[in-house]
Amino acid sequence: RAPAEGQTLYPLAHVFSENWSYGEQYVDISVPTPTVAELAAKGAGASRSGPAITMVPGDFVETYKKGGSGHRKFDAIVTCFFLDTVVDIAQLVDVLDDLLDEGGVWVNVGPLNWRKEARMKLNWDEMLAIWKGRGYTFHCQERLDCDYHLERGRKMYTESYLCTLTSATKQGGKA
Protein backbone atom coordinates (compact mmCIF):
# COMPACT_ATOMS: atom_id res chain seq x y z
CA ARG A 1 0.00 0.00 0.00
CA ALA A 2 1.35 3.41 -0.94
CA PRO A 3 1.93 5.83 1.93
CA ALA A 4 -0.42 8.81 2.33
CA GLU A 5 2.12 11.19 0.80
CA GLY A 6 2.35 9.03 -2.31
CA GLN A 7 4.92 6.59 -3.59
CA THR A 8 7.95 7.16 -5.83
CA LEU A 9 8.45 4.57 -8.55
CA TYR A 10 11.20 4.02 -11.13
CA PRO A 11 9.29 2.44 -14.03
CA LEU A 12 12.29 2.16 -16.39
CA ALA A 13 14.96 1.00 -13.92
CA HIS A 14 14.84 -2.55 -15.29
CA VAL A 15 15.07 -1.49 -18.96
CA PHE A 16 18.76 -1.53 -19.92
CA SER A 17 18.45 -0.90 -23.67
CA GLU A 18 17.83 2.19 -25.79
CA ASN A 19 18.69 4.63 -22.99
CA TRP A 20 20.18 8.04 -23.60
CA SER A 21 21.63 8.16 -20.08
CA TYR A 22 21.29 6.82 -16.54
CA GLY A 23 19.12 9.84 -15.81
CA GLU A 24 16.59 8.68 -18.40
CA GLN A 25 16.71 5.07 -17.19
CA TYR A 26 16.21 6.02 -13.55
CA VAL A 27 13.54 8.64 -14.07
CA ASP A 28 11.14 8.71 -11.14
CA ILE A 29 7.41 9.21 -11.03
CA SER A 30 5.20 9.88 -8.05
CA VAL A 31 2.00 7.88 -7.61
CA PRO A 32 -0.37 9.99 -5.51
CA THR A 33 -2.93 8.91 -3.02
CA PRO A 34 -5.83 8.48 -2.61
CA THR A 35 -5.88 5.27 -4.55
CA VAL A 36 -8.28 4.55 -7.40
CA ALA A 37 -10.25 2.27 -5.03
CA GLU A 38 -10.67 5.11 -2.53
CA LEU A 39 -11.83 7.48 -5.25
CA ALA A 40 -14.26 4.90 -6.60
CA ALA A 41 -15.71 4.31 -3.12
CA LYS A 42 -16.37 8.06 -2.75
CA GLY A 43 -18.26 8.09 -6.06
CA ALA A 44 -20.33 4.99 -5.31
CA GLY A 45 -23.41 7.04 -4.44
CA ALA A 46 -24.18 7.58 -8.12
CA SER A 47 -27.51 6.64 -9.74
CA ARG A 48 -26.22 3.21 -10.76
CA SER A 49 -25.55 0.34 -8.38
CA GLY A 50 -21.93 -0.49 -7.73
CA PRO A 51 -18.76 1.58 -7.75
CA ALA A 52 -18.28 4.57 -10.05
CA ILE A 53 -15.24 2.95 -11.68
CA THR A 54 -14.27 -0.68 -12.05
CA MET A 55 -10.99 -2.33 -12.90
CA VAL A 56 -11.38 -6.09 -13.16
CA PRO A 57 -8.70 -8.55 -14.26
CA GLY A 58 -9.67 -11.31 -16.65
CA ASP A 59 -11.56 -11.72 -19.89
CA PHE A 60 -13.70 -8.61 -20.47
CA VAL A 61 -16.30 -10.37 -22.61
CA GLU A 62 -16.73 -13.25 -20.15
CA THR A 63 -16.98 -10.85 -17.19
CA TYR A 64 -19.36 -8.26 -18.68
CA LYS A 65 -21.56 -10.28 -21.05
CA LYS A 66 -25.20 -10.93 -20.10
CA GLY A 67 -25.06 -13.32 -17.16
CA GLY A 68 -21.41 -12.45 -16.43
CA SER A 69 -20.34 -11.45 -12.92
CA GLY A 70 -19.75 -7.83 -13.93
CA HIS A 71 -22.78 -7.30 -16.17
CA ARG A 72 -24.73 -4.14 -15.37
CA LYS A 73 -25.53 -0.83 -17.01
CA PHE A 74 -23.03 2.03 -17.18
CA ASP A 75 -23.57 5.71 -17.96
CA ALA A 76 -20.29 5.78 -19.89
CA ILE A 77 -17.65 3.37 -21.14
CA VAL A 78 -14.10 4.31 -22.11
CA THR A 79 -12.08 1.98 -24.32
CA CYS A 80 -8.41 2.89 -24.48
CA PHE A 81 -6.11 0.87 -26.76
CA PHE A 82 -8.64 -1.95 -26.35
CA LEU A 83 -10.84 -2.69 -29.39
CA ASP A 84 -8.08 -4.43 -31.35
CA THR A 85 -7.13 -6.77 -28.49
CA VAL A 86 -10.00 -9.22 -28.94
CA VAL A 87 -10.35 -12.25 -31.18
CA ASP A 88 -14.03 -11.57 -31.96
CA ILE A 89 -14.81 -7.87 -32.42
CA ALA A 90 -18.50 -8.59 -33.14
CA GLN A 91 -18.83 -10.23 -29.73
CA LEU A 92 -17.08 -7.29 -28.02
CA VAL A 93 -19.36 -4.77 -29.75
CA ASP A 94 -22.40 -6.77 -28.58
CA VAL A 95 -21.16 -6.69 -24.98
CA LEU A 96 -20.21 -2.99 -25.00
CA ASP A 97 -23.53 -2.02 -26.58
CA ASP A 98 -25.47 -4.03 -23.99
CA LEU A 99 -23.66 -2.27 -21.11
CA LEU A 100 -24.98 1.16 -22.16
CA ASP A 101 -28.57 2.38 -21.85
CA GLU A 102 -30.03 4.90 -24.27
CA GLY A 103 -28.15 8.17 -23.73
CA GLY A 104 -25.01 6.35 -22.58
CA VAL A 105 -21.67 7.63 -23.84
CA TRP A 106 -18.89 5.61 -25.42
CA VAL A 107 -15.42 7.18 -25.67
CA ASN A 108 -12.65 5.40 -27.56
CA VAL A 109 -9.00 6.12 -28.18
CA GLY A 110 -6.63 3.73 -29.86
CA PRO A 111 -5.42 2.18 -33.07
CA LEU A 112 -6.66 -0.86 -34.93
CA ASN A 113 -3.52 -2.94 -34.64
CA TRP A 114 -5.41 -6.23 -34.69
CA ARG A 115 -3.88 -9.23 -32.98
CA LYS A 116 -3.02 -12.07 -35.36
CA GLU A 117 -5.80 -14.30 -33.96
CA ALA A 118 -8.54 -11.76 -34.72
CA ARG A 119 -11.37 -13.28 -36.78
CA MET A 120 -12.08 -9.99 -38.53
CA LYS A 121 -9.62 -7.16 -39.06
CA LEU A 122 -11.89 -4.22 -39.79
CA ASN A 123 -10.84 -0.75 -40.85
CA TRP A 124 -12.17 2.29 -38.97
CA ASP A 125 -14.90 3.05 -41.54
CA GLU A 126 -16.23 -0.48 -41.03
CA MET A 127 -16.15 -0.02 -37.26
CA LEU A 128 -18.11 3.24 -37.57
CA ALA A 129 -20.70 1.54 -39.75
CA ILE A 130 -21.25 -1.14 -37.09
CA TRP A 131 -21.73 1.42 -34.30
CA LYS A 132 -23.91 3.72 -36.40
CA GLY A 133 -25.99 0.68 -37.37
CA ARG A 134 -26.66 0.16 -33.68
CA GLY A 135 -27.97 3.70 -33.37
CA TYR A 136 -24.92 5.58 -32.07
CA THR A 137 -24.48 9.26 -32.88
CA PHE A 138 -20.86 10.36 -33.12
CA HIS A 139 -19.89 13.74 -31.65
CA CYS A 140 -16.12 13.56 -32.04
CA GLN A 141 -14.01 11.76 -34.62
CA GLU A 142 -10.39 12.82 -34.67
CA ARG A 143 -7.04 11.39 -35.56
CA LEU A 144 -4.72 11.61 -32.60
CA ASP A 145 -0.96 11.11 -32.55
CA CYS A 146 -0.25 8.82 -29.54
CA ASP A 147 2.99 7.61 -28.04
CA TYR A 148 2.29 4.16 -26.63
CA HIS A 149 4.53 3.52 -23.60
CA LEU A 150 6.56 6.71 -23.28
CA GLU A 151 6.62 10.07 -24.95
CA ARG A 152 8.96 10.39 -27.91
CA GLY A 153 12.50 11.29 -26.99
CA ARG A 154 12.50 9.52 -23.60
CA LYS A 155 14.06 6.38 -25.14
CA MET A 156 15.88 5.80 -28.41
CA TYR A 157 12.85 3.82 -29.61
CA THR A 158 9.21 4.55 -28.80
CA GLU A 159 6.07 3.01 -30.30
CA SER A 160 3.69 5.58 -31.71
CA TYR A 161 0.30 5.31 -33.37
CA LEU A 162 -2.03 7.56 -35.30
CA CYS A 163 -5.15 6.68 -33.33
CA THR A 164 -8.81 7.39 -33.53
CA LEU A 165 -10.34 9.52 -30.79
CA THR A 166 -14.12 9.21 -30.84
CA SER A 167 -17.10 9.84 -28.64
CA ALA A 168 -20.64 8.68 -29.35
CA THR A 169 -24.01 8.57 -27.64
CA LYS A 170 -26.29 5.57 -27.80
CA GLN A 171 -29.66 6.56 -29.23
CA GLY A 172 -32.86 4.54 -29.00
CA GLY A 173 -33.03 1.47 -31.20
CA LYS A 174 -30.91 0.39 -34.11
CA ALA A 175 -30.64 2.65 -37.14
pLDDT tens, position by position, 162-173 = 999 999 999 976
pLDDT category, 36, cuts 50, 70, 90?
low
- The whole model's pTM is what? 0.77
Task: Report the pLDDT value the prediction gives residue 90, as an integer from 0 to 100.
Answer: 96
Report the amino acid identity of residue 27.
V
Evaluate if residue 47 carries a pLDDT over 70: no
Q: What sign does the dihedral 40-42-44-46 (CA atoms) show? A: negative
pLDDT category, 106, cuts 50, 70, 90?
very high
CA atoms within 13 A on the CB side of 26: 3
- Summary mean pLDDT of the chain: 87
pLDDT, tens digit (0-9, with 9 covering 90-100), for 68-101: 998 999 999 999 999 999 999 999 999 999 999 9
CA–CA separation, 159 and 63 (whole Å): 30
- C-alpha of 23 from chain center: 30
DSSP lists the bridge partners of residue 136 as 170
The kind and range of the H/E element at 62 are: helix 60-64
Report the amino acid identity of residue 26.
Y
Evaluate if residue 39 carries a pLDDT over 80: no
